[in-house]
Amino acid sequence: METEHTIETPHQRQNRHKAMEAISVLNALKEDFKFPIQSMGYFYDRFEKVYCHHEPLHEGKAKIGTMCIQIPSEIIYALDAVPIRLCNGFSTDDEIGSDLLPQKSCPLVKATVGWFASDNFFDKPDITFSPTTCDQKTKAGAIIESFGHTVIDVGFPRTKESEESRHYWRESVKSFAVKLSKFQGKKLTRSNLERAIKKVGYVQSLYHKLTEFRKNKAVPILGVDMFLVTNAFFFDRIDEWIGAVEKLVSELERRANDGVNVAGKASPRIIYTGSPPIFPNYKIPLIIEQSDAIIVADETCSSNRMFNDMAAVDEWNLYDMIDSVSDKYLKGCTCPIFTQNDDRIRRIIQLVRSYSGDGVIYQAFAGCQVYEMEQRSVLAAMEREGIPILYIESDYSPSQHGQLTTRVEAFVESLKNRKRKKK
């Protein structure tokens, strides 16, 4: 008998590895927790389709890669294109990127570079805009360009208090709009931008509705599920995402009325902050929620920071809309790349207060210098406020699972003790 032997190509192997990473996280989300949410099915399927079966979602549409959240998706949608956020959470891609970047680089940046290096996309961006946020993202743009991709830098200031910064960023956004408009051969108009701003505003309003439920005593949705929902917005078809989240909102409404609690009665409520959990790197959030704690809110750019602050337009004319969209991505942003970052500390404290958090878990990617550097000031501030905080460094490798679990479990246990003593 003769069997056919085929040798797996590097792309196939990469895809197989990524599918394995993806499915193991999806399975954990689906099966490890009590009271699964029906309408989460859409998101599990979507991620499986994209990351396990590598099915494209946006065939025939112009796909605009974005390296950070600061590229206004409003303008991309207005110009009839699709934003694809290229922040990457795959360990497989991280390994490929490791050969191209310094050893101590951020795994997220390595994974993004690795993704481009292998040129293995489900929805390949036609052009990529890279805001000059942190050093590593900024420099990664040029490396990605060297692989033959079109990458356009969008100047982003690193202070947000000054007038110069505000003007600089507004000009940057205008020039981004002009370049994209040329690329698309389409004019940015009052009506298409107004429509896009309101649509993205609606998207944000849905996110806010979801988070409202997490303030309840009985929390109807897991933090990891929330991360999945927000991460889906990186690449999903916006209208389908909206439809799915609307369903999720109404299911959570029912669950809230019934008092469904996905956590235990004594489960400590965690505010998650630091480097962004991006699918499938849910290592720390999963450990937290598998250790009988529940993430009730987060301060990360893959979730809260992406949706929290909304654009307010005073005069619905092009000049004011572009400025208001620009301001939204600069002024409200709590990214640690900024020189001063009191706003981030204030945001974390406010989240702890309004979501009745018991403690904060601050996770930084090893190599994510800005988060590592800001750790001290955040820890000091939490100490002042009497808020327990755990600082963890991790990366994309699956190796330190045991050690991380021990640390998280110990922290969760101490929070439980604290809670008991309070009573």
Partner 1 sequence: MKNKFSLRRAVNNMNLVRFRFWFQIVAFLLIVYGGYAGLDLGNKLPTFACVYNSEGTGGKCYVGMLQHDLKHPLETFAGYAGYAFLISLGMFIVWFWVLNKGWCGFVCPLGTMQDWLSMLRGKMKIGYSEYSWANREKIKSVKYILLILLLLLPVMIANSVFGLPKLPNGLSMPFCDICPGRMMIPAFTGDFNQFYIDFSSKTDIVMTTLGMIVSGLFLVGSFIKKRFFCYFCPMAALQYIFSKPALLKLNKEGSKCTRCGDCYRACDMDILEIADDVTSKNLVTEDCTLCLKCVAACPEEGCLEAAFMGKTIFESTKEGFLLRMAMDQRGEKHGN
Residue 35 has, within 13 A of its CA and on its CB side, a CA count of 17
Q: How far is the CB of 247 from partner 1 (least distance, A)?
A: 13
Helix (H, G, I), strand (E, B) or coil at 296: strand
Q: Which two tokens stand for residue 209?
A: 């509705």
Query: According to the binding rule CB under 8 A, does residue 311 interact with partner 1?
Result: yes
Q: Which of 11, 254, 353, 418 binds partner 1 (CB under 8 A)?
A: 353
Kindly report the backbone phi and psi dihedral angles of residue 159, in degrees, each rounded to the nearest multiple of 5, phi listed first.
-125, 150
Q: Which of 310, 377, 385, 400 binds partner 1 (CB under 8 A)?
A: 310
Which strands make up the sheet holding 151-154, listed edge to edge? 82-85, 63-66, 127-131, 151-154
Q: How far is the CB of 216 from partner 1 (least distance, A)?
A: 16
Q: How far is the CB of 175 from partner 1 (least distance, A)?
A: 17
Count of beta carbons in the 10 Å neighbourhood of residue 109:
26
Residues touching partner 1, count (CB under 8 A): 40
Stretch that binds partner 1, among 12-20, 50-58, 68-76, 318-326 (CB under 8 A): 318-326
Q: How far is the CB of 417 from partner 1 (least distance, A)?
A: 28
Helix (H, G, I), strand (E, B) or coil at 106: coil
Query: According to the binding rule CB under 8 A, does residue 332 interact with partner 1?
Result: yes
Which strands make up the sheet holding 269-274, listed edge to edge? 294-299, 269-274, 359-365, 389-394
Residue 218 has, within 13 A of its CA and on its CB side, a CA count of 13
Cα separation, 173 vs 413, in Å, equals 47
* CB-based contact 106:367 (threshold 8 Å): yes
Q: Which of 106, 226, 301, 313 binds partner 1 (CB under 8 A)?
A: 313
Helix (H, G, I), strand (E, B) or coil at 120: coil
Angle between helices 107-118 and 135-146 (to 10 degrees): 10
Query: According to the binding rule CB under 8 A, does residue 384 interact with partner 1?
Result: no
Q: Which of 49, 179, 331, 419 binds partner 1 (CB under 8 A)?
A: 331
Residue ranges in 154-193 that form contacts with partner 1 under rule CB under 8 A: 161, 163, 190
Residue window 213-252: x/- pattern of binding to partner 1, with contact defined by CB under 8 A = -------------------------xx--x---x------
Count of beta carbons in the 10 Å neighbourhood of residue 230:
26
* CB-based contact 389:270 (threshold 8 Å): no
Stretch that binds partner 1, among 10-18, 105-113, 224-232, 316-324 (CB under 8 A): 316-324
Q: Which of 39, 204, 375, 414 binds partner 1 (CB under 8 A)?
A: 204
Residues in contact with partner 1 by CB under 8 A are 161, 163, 190, 195, 198-199, 201-202, 204-205, 208, 238-239, 242, 246, 308-315, 317-320, 323-324, 327-328, 331-332, 334, 343, 346-347, 349-350, 353
